């Protein structure tokens, strides 16, 4: 499914609003200046997203996975390859000696994922004027295919993945990752429709 350039621009803008909030929250939390950029947004059928992501992410990935429900429901994921996840947690906690994603590092990553996902999905919730509730975030370290297959199992409705390429910048380092939001086709339609209205309102203002 291709996004029109207007849709793509509007989505990027919207996600950037969420990211700015997330970055500010992370900066407050860690005491480091952190920025979160979104260079690229795209939509894929869920069956195809694995191939798309494995072009840039290889090996094991660390994912923060959060289910959200309400009038609009789906899954939110923050994906980082293992190396990037390790670097990010090291930079955030000033712990240069971390050599593996231990329990403490996983927790930090979960909190970061929660902040980023909440901020992004919070913006969508506001746009759609619906109350979205979240489940407790969970962290997994596994291959990207295993991760995605666990998400597609048992779904009847056609699902799409909104993939948001993201870049954390802190302490002179860039760490790349992906924000993936998986939505059913009805939720996605509703989101895109509201996006159109919002874009129109923006232009009118």
Among 2, 99, 156, 205, interactor with other proteins by CB under 8 A: 99
- With CB under 8 A as the contact rule, the residue among 56, 93, 149, 202 that binds other proteins is 93
Q: Does 63 participate in binding other proteins (rule CB under 8 A)?
A: no
Distance (Å, rounded) from C-alpha 188 to C-alpha 10? 14
Distance CA(150)–CA(16), nearest Å, equals: 28
76 touches 180 (CB < 8 A): yes
Say whether residue 19 binds other proteins (CB under 8 A): no
SS3 55: coil
Contact indicator for 68, 133 with CB cutoff of 8 Å = yes
Q: Is 134 in the site for other proteins (CB under 8 A)?
A: yes
114: contact with other proteins by CB under 8 A: yes
* Residue 135 binds other proteins (CB under 8 A): yes
Q: Report the first-to-last Cα separation within the chain, whole angstroms.
A: 30
Give whichever of 57 and 79 is closer to other proteins, judged by the CB atom: 79
Pull the structure tokens for residue 187: 């939720």
Binding site for other proteins (CB under 8 A): 29-30, 66, 70, 92-93, 95, 97, 99, 102-105, 107-108, 110-111, 114, 118, 122, 125, 131-137
């Amino acid at each position: 499914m291709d996004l029109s350039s207007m849709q793509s621009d509007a989505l990027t803008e919207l996600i950037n609003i969420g990211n700015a909030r997330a970055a500010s929250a992370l900066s407050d939390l860690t005491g480091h200046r952190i920025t979160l950029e979104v260079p690229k947004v795209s939509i894929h059928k869920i069956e195809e997203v694995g191939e798309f992501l494995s072009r840039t992410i290889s090996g094991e990935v660390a994912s923060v996975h959060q289910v959200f429900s309400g009038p609009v429901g789906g899954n939110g994921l923050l994906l980082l390859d293992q190396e990037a996840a390790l670097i990010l947690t090291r930079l955030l906690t000033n712990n240069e000696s971390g050599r593996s994603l231990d329990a403490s590092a996983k927790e930090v990553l979960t909190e970061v994922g929660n902040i980023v996902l909440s901020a992004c999905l919070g913006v969508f919730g506001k746009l759609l004027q619906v109350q979205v509730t979240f489940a407790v975030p969970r962290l997994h370290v596994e291959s990207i295919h295993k991760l995605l297959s666990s998400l597609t199992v048992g779904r009847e409705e056609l699902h799409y993945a909104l993939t948001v390429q993201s870049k954390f910048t802190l302490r002179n380092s860039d760490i790349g990752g992906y924000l993936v939001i998986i939505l059913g086709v009805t939720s996605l339609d509703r989101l895109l429709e509201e996006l159109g209205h919002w874009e129109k309102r923006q232009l009118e203002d």
